[in-house]
Amino acid sequence: MTEDTGQDIANLSFEAAIEQLESIVRQLETGEAPLDESIALYERGDKLRAHCEARLKSARERIEKIKLDAGGEPVGVEPLDPQ
């Protein structure tokens, strides 16, 4: 299957998870893996995708936007509200 299969997904960095997910996608796209292995790859890929989404959401919540005064000068920061 993929490298680092024994590693707990929750401990992966975003970059490591994306790298593994891309590797899984490449393997599945070739269609050369046996059915059982393809299913296992897909399941791990789905867990990696969810992990990446959670890491992105967490990063988004930590981003701050700069508050400007009427003259356009920075006066501080506040949490980013993407809605």
| Domain layout of the chain by residue ranges | 9-79
CA distance 4 to 14: 14
| Mean pLDDT, residues 66-76 | 78
CB distance 43 to 33 below 8 Å: no
Beta carbons within 8 Å of 66's beta carbon, 6+ residues apart:
74, 76, 77
Residue type, 48: L
Is the pTM value of this prediction over 0.95?
no
Does residue 62 surpass a pLDDT of 50? Answer: yes
The secondary structure of the chain in percent helix, strand, coil, rounded to multiples of 5, reads 60, 15, 30
What pLDDT score was predicted for residue 66? Answer: 72
